[in-house]
Amino acid sequence: MTIALYPGSFDPGTNGHIDIAIRAAALFDKLFVAVYDTPSKQLLFNTKERVDLFEKAVAHIPNIKVIPYTGLTVDFARKVGAKVIVRGLRMSSDFEREFEMALMNKKVAPDIEVVCLMANLEFQFLSSSLLKEVGSLGGVISTLVPKHIEEALRKKFSSTRKQ
């Protein structure tokens, strides 16, 4: 049985992330979507919200489990028995960083392989940060995230506007 881990900030998960998770779940016996607790970026959603939002988006895929984690990704991969770390690669922005990270992971955990799936053409331009920027300014985001994530974003933006 091959277990894979798809780690990220997922603040929030987008259709691009969800597409990668569903495609990875078709390749491996079990996929853990691992939501990183304390990324070095400023977050809009807390960890529980990020987990719940992603969970709802992939609830129809039985071999995906969404869980929070903290600490080194490779340590967490070992903890859940994952031999593979999945990442998504967008054409322009991701290669260098992912390559660097994969080499570092290989150094500290030679037993774990990093598998990169190419982002769907439709979602190449899509990032959580751009999504939040467009959403906060009232732009149309309904083709970029599932309905429940769009609603969660709208709610967050209206409550931050009121503050």
Catalytic residue, candidates 17, 50, 87, 132: 17
Choice among 23, 65, 83, 90 that is catalytic:
90
Taking the C-alpha atoms of residue 140 and residue 131, their distance in angstroms, rounded to an integer, is: 9
* 102 vs 161 by CB, closer to ligand ADP: 102
Does the annotation count 60 as an active-site position? no
Catalytic residue among 9, 50, 87, 128: 128
Take residue 25 and report the two structure tokens written for it.
């779940």
Phi, psi for residue 60 in degrees, rounded to 5:
-85, 0
The answer for residues whose C-beta is within 8 angstroms of residue 158's C-beta and 6 or more apart is: none
**Catalytic residue status for 90:** yes
3-state SS of 31-50 is EEEEEECCCCCCCCCCHHHH
In this structure, are residues 87 and 54 in contact, taking their beta carbons and an 8 Å threshold?
no
The answer to whether 148 is a known catalytic residue is no
CB of 162 to ligand ADP, least distance (A): 27
| Site of interaction with ligand ADP (CB under 6 A) | 8-10, 14, 16-17, 20, 39, 87-88, 90, 94, 119, 123, 126-128
Whose Cβ is closer to ligand ADP: residue 14's or residue 105's? 14
128 noted as active-site residue: yes
Quote the least distance from Cβ 80 to ligand ADP, whole Å: 17
Nearer to ligand ADP, 34 or 158 (CB): 34
| 138 class by beta-carbon count within 10 Å (0-12 exposed, 13-18 middle, 19+ buried) | exposed
Residues taking part in catalysis: 17, 41, 90, 128
